[in-house]
Structure 1
Amino acid sequence: MAIQSKHILSEDPSTLVLDSLKGLCDTNPQLALDATNRVVHVASPDPSKVALICGGGSGHEPAHAGFVGDGILTAAVCGNVFASPNPRQVRQAMELVGNDKGTLIIVKNYTGDVLNFGLAKEQFAARHPGKANKVRFLIVGDDVAVGRTQGSIVGRRGLAGTVLVYKIAGALARRGAPLEEVYDIAETVSKNLGTVGVGLEHCHVPGTAASESYLSENEIEIGMGIHNEAGNKRVSPVPPMDKLIDQLITIIISTEDKDRSYVPFRGGGQDQVVVLVNNLGGLSELELGSVSGEVLRQLKDKGLSVQRLLSGTFMTSLNMPGFSITLLLLPEEQHTRDLVLSLLDEPTETPGWKWTSRVPPTSLKSSPKISRTDSAPEKSKVPLKAQDPFAFISAVERACNAIIQAEPEITRMDTIAGDGDCGLTLKGGAIAVLQATKDGRVSGDDIVSSLIAISQVAEEQMGGTSGALFSCVLSLHLTHHQVTDHSRIFFSSLAQALYSSTEAINWNGALESALDGLYTYTRARRPSRTLIDPLSSFVESFVSGKSLVEAVGTAAIAAEETKNVEAKAGRSAYIESESLKKDKVADPGAWGVKLILEALIQK
């Protein structure tokens, strides 16, 4: 897959970090900014509380500056993208928030961060000998993808688990605990963290040249770092989510791989954990929610007791499409375990910290059962049986298969002229209708009830504008009319005209009534570059006395003509009209109507 290399930047990309920090402080009045040294800090730090300082390269937002505020960090020192800040910057942060109660510096285990923050600590101690014993230094390494052999000297990389150290230590500092207690709790948490990440692709650093795709289209990488460092293995093809998450969790909790067994999990249902599912920057919230639920389910299946589940964007790798899973193994001792959870649960006013439930996640709660009046289509008082039931089902199946086969082309059209979902929406509805024919809800023995069932499928399975319009067309005012009045439904009327006797029904009136009913719910009128164009063309042609084949032909011409029509309704109305005409793209919904009508009359 291609690397996303477009960014919103000023004329000088080098100002991005400072511009971002200014924006952060503009939105949070409790913060102050030393612009020269790129230090974000609490504007009025409490000298009676231990100060917490962190930092590193930018590009991991909301880490680190997003966690500065009441209850977590006192200051964050920000380098360039993926580059450590220099010692001078760190010393400035120590001067800004230092106090007699003490300072704890927490850094991720990356060589640049450790060296520069460590050097700043030593320089600060040399300048302030009386405060030398009031500064502690903690290095967090939670990446379990880096084995002991590979990382023999440098150790594990620091990843998203670091923010749990920030939160827990910061909450204890706010309670007024002395420096040694704050350090001890931070160290305890750090030693019991395991994190592993997975990426669909590398990220792109703003201001640099566009880069080629790092991974193939059907390949992912497990164990990637947050600075585009390679992972410990690639997997192809991309496994289903449940298989992928099983691999990731196993890497963290397995005690059989002595090279990567960093956290002392005991197994046998004895382990209680805090779970952090972290967005690496480019994963949609839709996908992240799905991942979080699957992680919880699998941890429970593996016998781990999940005490807290946190999900969101905590530590990114710019715009990397991927996520990481962090497990914090809670202490066995009850008092310490309760302390860690209480500190994690304490409210904070920092913008980067996401909402958490502060209670253990429970099993999914299902909504109460509500009686549905539309669960099954009402049988007609006088069933309208098709003259040829087999032909009726064949026509329905032809229409569905035509839509399924055309999905790639309809999707292509909608990618240009809409939001890209029309093809899949129509395909999903078609597949569901085919299933309804298999289970007997759609048959030629009672056309009205069958078409009501199709209407329900359109409503429930298709969604979107197309689903709503098709459903409206099929299901207007059914409950208070005799069977002949059911012919007000557009597609029901069409199907009856095609496959049943016309002796008792006024088809022209039925079609006109169906179209009027549809106009109740949309302002679109032909020509509008919507599915109204072929629908109205079909109805008007048929009512004027043209044959069914001629009416369908008129509808097909109207669908084709949407390539040249200025959009007046629908999603295309928001797109520059000349570009649509230039691309010669038909309206996707209109094209779907064309395909359905043409398939219905085939023999």
Structure 2
Amino acid sequence: MALQKHLLNDADTLVVDSLAGLCAVNNQLAFDPPNKVVFKSKLDRSKVALICGGGSGHEPSHAGFVGECAAAVCGSVFASPNSSQVRRGIDLVENDAGCVLPWYRNYTGDILNFGLAAEQYAAEHAEKSDKVKFLVVGDDVAVGKTQGGIVGRRGLAGVVLVYKIAGALAAEGATLDEVHSVAQWVAGRIGTIGVGLEHCHVPGTAPPSSSLSPTEIEIGLGIHNEAGNKRLSPVPPLTELVPLLIDYIASTTDAERGFLPFKNDGTDEVVLLVNNLGGMSELEIGGVVRAVREELHKRQIGVSRVLAGTFMTSLNMPGFSLSLLLLPRADDPAPKPSAQQILSLLDAPAQTPGWKWASGAPPVTPTPLAPPATAAKKAGSASGIGAPQPADFLAALQRVCAAVVAAEPEITRMDTIAGDGDCGLTLKAGAQGVEKAIKVGSITGTDLVADVVAIAKVAETEMGGTSGALYSIFFSALAQGIQSAAAGAGASTATPELWSTALSAALKKLYTYTRARPPSRTLVDPLAAFVDAFSDAAAFDGAVKAAGAAAEHTKDVDAKAGRSAYVDKGVLSREKVPDPGAWGVKTILEAL
């Protein structure tokens, strides 16, 4: 069984307590406790800032890499920070050189929240909309291409190599595009596989219902207690285990896992990272390093650098992961960095405890804190773009809110079958939030950009979760689209043609944060049907009908994304229930 005892004050305060302790170790850090943001107190704002982050429980990642990174935004244990936290991190370190968000956990809700923060920043700072770059690192090779489908690979310890290389390049004064390009290239050349003797235990939770037997080992497990794809018994010696693990990364004959362009002809050169997942002894890690090094030598895979230690954990999980960064070759297509550049960036001195670092100075007491958060400013100045009839615009929104509230029980019923049962309540919360915003005058119909940004903020704060992030990203992008379309047309009033252009731009932007494409049995199905069919005022009714038909059709569509992707297909087929998120979009459009 996983170790279930912990030494702490309170599970609810553990993350903040730990971050405060980190600031005592590293006296170059400042801390914003309410948002769980750790950042460099003295920043060179002429250089690109990296913002890392994700759930806690993976220490020293991510806060332990602040130094190479400008800031880390930390969620609760195994939970992503919300978009407001990420946005706070951007605000604390943003500069004219720009920011890169090398986000590592390829999970829908996390991508949406990091993406939403970037989109909100762009919506509120049009002049700097190109100064925030977004990067997803997915290096897990355990999940095959068929199983992963459009979702892609999870992020594991390989992300720390991206942090180090991108951080060192930024410190040299490289441009935002240069840092983002090299980071993206490196992210695409890393493969990681994990192995564990047991799962971990999250402080404050009930004991796990299942565990590995004393003679079992699990391969391909995630870093949030997700089950792996293979169990072996008895536990094999490293001489048998390591070749199997390297096959997952370097094999080119496995069609499911040929993620990296290894040639396996004696010309491959790699950087090896052996990572302790939290519960392995240094003695064992040393043995793993030797076994991997010898196996790579047998395969004639050159090892240019070896990194070993605790970089990204899964709390107290007894296990390790192997990462291989396949260095560039002369015949690799351009653009690409050189192998020498990658190695020099890895070798550059690091100013962070997560990368075998110590401050070398006593901590500053008390820990420097971030300046108090101020009330969010309204996005930009008045856009000058209003609804033709503001009263009618508000009446339409109120109709939508009433319809969504009335539909909540039915949408909730659908979601108890096809999801996790909260879709109806989430949409209802959003509708009630919009009603309140209208009542207090935050939405007026006289400034559509500000109104749509306000709706996006309601979706973020009142709805939460994946749906809230999706809606908020869409409306944030819609605000940008309205402003851009109006500027191009020289319009001061929203016309159907302007709405059509803005909606198409918003849908395109949404597609950068979700891989769902119609038909996918998600809210994207009716949304895309409406946007594609709507071109002018005369087409509105037809577009609404197209959206309704698409929502109805989700009854017969295999789930390719969203919560329903994890539900037994037989249940969905037997119940003939439409996707609840899609039904919510149908409800909104029909009420309009």
* TM-score class normalised by the smaller sequence: 0.5 to 0.7
2:350, 2:357 within 8 Å by CA — same for their partners in 1? no
Instruction: Give the equivalent residue in structure 2 for 1:191.
Output: 188
Shift of 1:217: 1.1
Query: Equivalents in 2 of 1:333, 1:135: separation in Å?
Result: 31
Is it true that 1:279 corresponds to 2:280 in the alignment?
Answer: no
Is it true that 1:250 corresponds to 2:247 in the alignment?
Answer: yes
2:351, 2:357 within 8 Å by CA — same for their partners in 1? no
Is it true that 1:57 corresponds to 2:55 in the alignment?
Answer: yes
Instruction: Give the equivalent residue in structure 1 for 2:101.
Output: 105
Query: Equivalents in 2 of 1:243, 1:137: separation in Å?
Result: 39
Task: Give the 5 Å matches for 1:222-241.
Answer: 222-241=219-238
SS across alignment from 1:251: helix
Task: Give the 5 Å matches for 1:265-414.
Answer: 265-333=262-330, 336-354=338-356
Task: Give the 5 Å matches for 1:398-437.
Answer: none
In structure 2, stretches of 5+ residues that fail to align are: 332-336, 359-592
SS across alignment from 1:185: helix
1:201, 1:213 within 8 Å by CA — same for their partners in 2? no
Instruction: Give the equivalent residue in structure 2 for 1:84.
Output: 80
Task: Give the 5 Å matches for 1:164-203.
Answer: 164-203=161-200
Shift of 1:132: 0.5
Shift of 1:99: 0.2
Instruction: Give the equivalent residue in structure 1 for 2:38.
Output: 40
Q: 1:355 to 1:103 in 2, by over 3 A?
A: closer
SS across alignment from 2:134: strand
1:83, 1:112 within 8 Å by CA — same for their partners in 2? no
Q: Please tell me the root mean square deviation across aligned C-alpha atoms, in Å.
A: 1.3
Instruction: Give the equivalent residue in structure 2 for 1:153.
Output: 150
Query: Equivalents in 1 of 2:181, 2:233: separation in Å?
Result: 42
Instruction: Determine which structure has more spread, i.e. the larger CA radius of gyration.
Output: 1
Instruction: Give the equivalent residue in structure 2 for 1:117.
Output: 114
Query: Equivalents in 2 of 1:270, 1:112: separation in Å?
Result: 40
The amino acid across from 1:7 in the alignment is H
Shift of 1:307: 0.1
The amino acid across from 1:5 in the alignment is Q
Residue 91 of structure 2, aligned match among 86, 91, 95: 95
Query: Equivalents in 2 of 1:167, 1:292: separation in Å?
Result: 21
The amino acid across from 2:341 in the alignment is L
SS across alignment from 2:2: coil
Query: Equivalents in 1 of 2:356, 2:223: separation in Å?
Result: 20
The amino acid across from 2:221 in the alignment is M
Instruction: Give the equivalent residue in structure 2 for 1:463.
Output: none
SS across alignment from 2:31: strand
Deviations 1:350-409 (A, max 9, x none): 0010279xxxxxxxxxxxxxxxxxxxxxxxxxxxxxxxxxxxxxxxxxxxxxxxxxxxxx
Is it true that 1:6 corresponds to 2:5 in the alignment?
Answer: yes
Deviations 1:428-469 (A, max 9, x none): xxxxxxxxxxxxxxxxxxxxxxxxxxxxxxxxxxxxxxxxxx
Query: Equivalents in 1 of 2:85, 2:34: separation in Å?
Result: 9
Query: Equivalents in 2 of 1:187, 1:120: separation in Å?
Result: 20
Deviations 1:488-508 (A, max 9, x none): xxxxxxxxxxxxxxxxxxxxx
Shift of 1:163: 0.3
The amino acid across from 1:350 in the alignment is T
The amino acid across from 2:125 in the alignment is H
Query: Equivalents in 2 of 1:73, 1:4: separation in Å?
Result: 32
Query: Structure 2 length as normaliser, TM-score?
Result: 0.59
The amino acid across from 1:87 in the alignment is S
Q: 1:347 to 1:319 in 2, by over 3 A?
A: same
Q: 1:81 to 1:231 in 2, by over 3 A?
A: same
Query: Which structure has more RCO (C-alpha within 8 Å, separation ≥ 6)?
Result: 2
SS across alignment from 2:147: coil
The amino acid across from 1:127 in the alignment is E
Shift of 1:213: 4.7
Query: Equivalents in 2 of 1:45, 1:127: separation in Å?
Result: 23
SS across alignment from 2:266: coil
Shift of 1:27: 1.3
Query: Equivalents in 1 of 2:314, 2:345: separation in Å?
Result: 27
Query: Equivalents in 1 of 2:63, 2:99: separation in Å?
Result: 17
Query: Structure 1 length as normaliser, TM-score?
Result: 0.58
The amino acid across from 2:12 in the alignment is S
SS across alignment from 1:85: coil
Instruction: Give the equivalent residue in structure 2 for 1:573.
Output: none
Query: Equivalents in 1 of 2:253, 2:38: separation in Å?
Result: 43
The amino acid across from 2:111 in the alignment is V
Deviations 1:337-359 (A, max 9, x none): 10000000001120010279xxx
Residue 30 of structure 1, aligned match among 23, 28, 31: 28
Deviations 1:125-184 (A, max 9, x none): 111111110110000000000111111021000000000000000000000000000011
Instruction: Give the equivalent residue in structure 2 for 1:517.
Output: none
Query: Equivalents in 2 of 1:110, 1:244: separation in Å?
Result: 28
Query: Equivalents in 2 of 1:202, 1:313: separation in Å?
Result: 17
SS across alignment from 1:149: helix
Deviations 1:295-327 (A, max 9, x none): 001101111000000000000000000000000
Query: Equivalents in 1 of 2:17, 2:326: separation in Å?
Result: 38
Query: Equivalents in 1 of 2:340, 2:253: separation in Å?
Result: 29
The amino acid across from 1:192 in the alignment is R
Is it true that 1:20 corresponds to 2:34 in the alignment?
Answer: no
Residue 74 of structure 1, aligned match among 70, 83, 88: 70
Query: Equivalents in 2 of 1:162, 1:111: separation in Å?
Result: 17
The amino acid across from 2:92 in the alignment is L
SS across alignment from 1:244: helix
Query: Equivalents in 2 of 1:137, 1:206: separation in Å?
Result: 31
The amino acid across from 1:150 in the alignment is Q
- My pick for the range that moved more, 201-210 or 16-25, is 201-210
SS across alignment from 1:160: coil
The amino acid across from 1:169 in the alignment is A
Query: Equivalents in 2 of 1:27, 1:249: separation in Å?
Result: 36
In structure 1, stretches of 5+ residues that fail to align are: 357-603
Deviations 1:472-497 (A, max 9, x none): xxxxxxxxxxxxxxxxxxxxxxxxxx
2:63, 2:71 within 8 Å by CA — same for their partners in 1? yes
Equivalent residues, number: 352
1:62, 1:313 within 8 Å by CA — same for their partners in 2? yes
2:264, 2:300 within 8 Å by CA — same for their partners in 1? yes
SS across alignment from 2:344: helix
1:3, 1:213 within 8 Å by CA — same for their partners in 2? no
Instruction: Give the equivalent residue in structure 2 for 1:446.
Output: none
Percent identity between the aligned chains? Answer: 63
Is it true that 1:262 corresponds to 2:259 in the alignment?
Answer: yes
2:29, 2:41 within 8 Å by CA — same for their partners in 1? yes
SS across alignment from 2:72: strand
The amino acid across from 1:89 in the alignment is Q
